[in-house]
Chain A
Amino acid sequence: MNPRSKGIVVALYGFAIFWGGVILVPFFWLAALSVKTRIDAFSVPPKLFFEPTFVAYSEILRDSKFLSAVLNSVIISVSAVTLSLLVAVPAAYALRNMVGPFRRNSTLVLLLLRMVPGMVYLLPYFVLYDRIGLLDTHIGLILVHLIFNVPLIIWMLLPIWAAIPDDLGEAARIDGATLLQTLFLIDLPLLKGGILASSILAFIFSWNEFLFALILGRREVITLPVAIVNFLAFEGTEWGKIAAASMFIVLPAIIFGFFVRRYMIAGMTGGAVKG
Chain B
Amino acid sequence: MADISLTNITKTYANGVTALAELDLHVQDGEFLVLVGPSGCGKSTLLRMIAGLEEISGGELKIGGRLVNQLEPKERDIAMVFQSYALYPHMTVAENIGFPLRLAKMPAVEIERRVADVAQLLELTPYIDRRPANLSGGQRQRVAMGRAIVRKPSVYLLDEPLSNLDAKLRDQTRSQMVDLQARLGVTTVYVTHDQVEAMTMGHRVAVLKDGVLQQCSTPRELYRNPVNKFVAGFIGMPSMNFIKVTASGEMVNMGPHRLDVPPALQNEIVRLEGRTFTLGIRPEHLELSEAGVPLEVTGVEHLGAETILRLVLGDSEGATQIVVRVDGDKRIERGETVRIKLTEKLHFFAADGVRIGPAF
Contact = CB atoms under 8 A, between A and B. Distances in A.
Q: Do chains A and B touch in the complex (CB under 8 A)?
A: yes
Interface of A: 100, 165, 167-168, 170-177, 181, 185-186, 189-190
A97 B315 CA distance: 58
Nearest to A169: B86
Interface string B147-181: 10001000000000000000000000000000000
Given A174-B52, A174-B78, A176-B74, 17 more contacts: A100-B14, A167-B84, A168-B88, A170-B82, A170-B86, A171-B80, A171-B88, A173-B73, A173-B74, A174-B53, A174-B73, A174-B79, A174-B80, A177-B74, A177-B103, A189-B90, A190-B90
Contacts of B53: 170, 173-174
B89 interface: yes
Contacts of A176: 73-74, 100, 103-104
A167 B90 contact: no
B72 interface: yes
Interface string B99-110: 110011000000
B94 interface: no
Contacts of A190: 89-90
Contact of B86 (A100, A165, A177, A189): A165
A253 to B, nearest CB: 31
Contacts, number: 52
B232 interface: no
B12 to A, nearest CB: 16
Interface string B123-135: 0000000000000
Contacts of A189: 90
B156 to A, nearest CB: 11
Contact of A168 (B73, B83, B86, B100): B86
Nearest to A176: B74
Interface residues of B: mostly helix, strand, loop or mixed? loop
Interface of B: 14, 51-53, 72-74, 78-80, 82-84, 86, 88-90, 99-100, 103-104, 147, 151
Nearest to B84: A167
A214 to B, nearest CB: 44
Contacts of A186: 88
Interface residues of A: mostly helix, strand, loop or mixed? helix
6 A-B pairs with the lowest CB-CB distances in the bound complex, closest first: A176-B74, A171-B86, A167-B86, A175-B100, A176-B103, A189-B90
B147 A175 contact: yes
13 contacts: A100-B14, A167-B86, A170-B82, A171-B147, A172-B88, A172-B99, A174-B73, A174-B74, A174-B79, A175-B100, A176-B73, A176-B74, A176-B100
A175 B14 CA distance: 28
A165 B132 CA distance: 15
Query: Of residues A171, A186, A190, which shows the largest number of chain B Cβ atoms within 10 Å of its Cβ?
Result: A171
Query: Of residues B73, B86, B89, which shows the largest number of chain A Cβ atoms within 10 Å of its Cβ?
Result: B86
Contacts of B51: 174
Nearest to A189: B90
A192 to B, nearest CB: 9
A180 to B, nearest CB: 12
B258 to A, nearest CB: 56
A190 B88 CA distance: 9
Given A165-B84, A167-B82, A175 B89 contact: no
Contacts of B86: 165, 167-168, 170-171
A128 B72 CA distance: 47
Contacts of B89: 190
Nearest to B89: A190
Contacts of B52: 173-174
Contacts of A167: 82-84, 86
A181 to B, nearest CB: 6
Contacts of B90: 189-190
A223 B142 CA distance: 57
B146 to A, nearest CB: 12
B163 to A, nearest CB: 14
A206 B72 CA distance: 42
Nearest to B153: A174
Contacts of B73: 173-174, 176
Contacts of A175: 74, 99-100, 103, 147, 151
Contacts of A173: 52-53, 72-74
A168 B53 CA distance: 12
Nearest to A192: B90
Nearest to B48: A170
A174 B341 CA distance: 54
